Amino acid sequence: MDRKAAQTLVENMLAGHRLSLARLISKVENRDSSLNLIMEQLYPHTGGAWILGITGPPGSGKSTLVDQMAAHFRKAGKKVAIVAVDPSSPFSGGAILGDRIRMQQHWNDPGVFIRSLGTRGKHGGLSHATKEVVLVLDSARFDVILVETAGVGQTELDILRLAQTVLVVLVPESGDSIQVMKAGLMEIADVFAVNKSDRPESDKLVRELISMVGLMDRPAGGWAVPVHKTEAIRDIGVSELLKALESHHHFLAESGAREWKASEFLKNEVMDILSERLGLRLQEAFETKAGQKLLKQLLGRRMDPYKAAAVFEKIKK
Ligand SMILES: Nc1nc2c(ncn2[C@@H]2O[C@H](COP(=O)(O)OP(=O)(O)O)[C@@H](O)[C@H]2O)c(=O)[nH]1
Ligand SMILES: [Mg+2]
């Protein structure tokens, strides 16, 4: 796709054309060669959306909660995009299908856009593609973008760095607060939801989390992480949870943390782009005659990896 075609596609998307939006997202996901042209066109239109990350162990009720939250946002007249990332399933399989069925209440609503990213990108750049898919949706003027990821690994936590507000969803079965700490969820949570509050022991987890949050180092005037009980399937506690999330959103704007977060994110973004490019270029460099020779030298212990890296550093395209 050339510059002109990218421009037209982005213009159509900005005008509200659904199919163009879907096509752009696919191109971003597949790391299309016109990616940089697409980003150039749409980037000036980003920055308006509230990006809300939802994470937690599989089965804690994230999708159910996201579904209810979307319904609340719709009632308030907001346009909502939902991005469900499931890195555990390399193919769009069971979990994603389940999500689709659950989210059916929104299917005919033009104010809701749902996308599942179940596969890794061509070059394995799932987390990077996710960030850019979110940027596309941001430019498409969705008021809220809900990004659901299963909080099981580092890449998933990475994705959440792009979120302005992070909701961590837990259930009593997912373990105690010690495990929450170990999984790195304590540092990223802006709000906790203890879901499936219809189950016994949810009060115990709530108490644990509250005392844990109280022990956290927090600068004066910082955000106090609230803990909310929800029962997603019956929409119990969801509107209170949303109020807490919204006040975090306001807190970000008022405290200046929003800008700080955005600049951290952008720094990482540029570094990610560079390392993605560098990675591809090095991959190609290994395929060349010179690269093969170097590899042989490495294998024969006539060259060490540090020296080889220095040689590659000098390769110009
Ligand atoms: N008892 C109970 N079950 C729930 C609640 N919320 C979700 N579930 C169920 O828990 C299961 C997993 O939910 P899902 O939203 O797919 O979890 P996810 O993997 O975190 O996205 C589903 O069978 C839901 O119906 C709740 O508040 N109470
Ligand atoms: Mg889910």
Q: CA angle 99-105-110, nearest 5°?
A: 105
Q: What is the pLDDT of residue 92?
A: 39
Q: What is the pLDDT of residue 146?
A: 96
Q: What is the pLDDT of residue 115?
A: 86
Q: What is the pLDDT of residue 93?
A: 39
HSE-CB at 175 with a 13 A cutoff on CA atoms is 11
Q: Is 196 in the pocket of ligand 1 (CB under 6 A)?
A: yes
Q: What are phi and psi of 52, to 5 degrees?
A: -115, 115
Ligand 1 atom nearest 99 alpha carbon: 16
Proximal ligand: closest to the CA of 116: 2
Contacts of 293 by beta carbon, 8 Å cutoff, 6+ apart: none
Residue 13 in contact with residue 103, Cβ under 8 Å? no
**What CATH architecture does domain 47-255 belong to?**
3-Layer(aba) Sandwich (3.40)
Select from 54, 64, 67, 101 the residue to mutate for testing ligand 1; criterion: most ligand atoms less than 8 Å from CB: 64
Q: Is 58 in the pocket of ligand 1 (CB under 6 A)?
A: yes
Which residues place a Cβ less than 5 A from the ion ligand 2?
Answer: 62-63
Q: What is the pLDDT of residue 95?
A: 46
Each domain of the chain, given as residue ranges in start order, spans 1-45, 47-255, 270-313
Q: What is the pLDDT along the chain (317 residues), one digit of tens a residue?
A: 889 999 999 999 999 999 999 999 999 988 889 999 999 999 999 999 999 999 988 889 999 999 999 999 999 999 999 998 865 544 433 445 555 555 566 777 889 998 888 645 444 455 678 888 999 999 999 999 999 987 666 666 676 778 999 999 999 887 777 777 777 788 889 999 999 999 989 999 999 999 988 888 777 778 999 999 999 999 999 999 999 999 999 999 999 888 888 898 889 889 988 988 888 888 888 899 989 999 999 999 999 999 998 888 776 55
Q: Is 229 in the pocket of ligand 1 (CB under 6 A)?
A: no
Reading the block at residue 91, the tokens are: 């193919």
Q: Return d(Cα 132, Cα 26) in angstroms, integer.
A: 11
Reading the block at residue 233, the tokens are: 């399937």
Residue 41 in contact with residue 7, Cβ under 8 Å? yes
Q: Return d(Cα 114, Cα 148) in angstroms, integer.
A: 11
Q: Is 63 in the pocket of ligand 1 (CB under 6 A)?
A: yes
HSE-CB at 229 with a 13 A cutoff on CA atoms is 15
Q: What is the pLDDT of residue 20?
A: 96
Long-range contacts made by residues 171-176, C-beta under 8 angstroms, separation at least 24? 171/56, 171/57, 171/59, 171/60, 171/61, 171/195, 171/196, 171/199, 171/202, 171/205, 172/196, 172/199, 172/200, 172/201, 172/202, 172/204, 172/205, 173/59, 173/199, 174/56, 174/57, 174/60, 176/205, 176/208
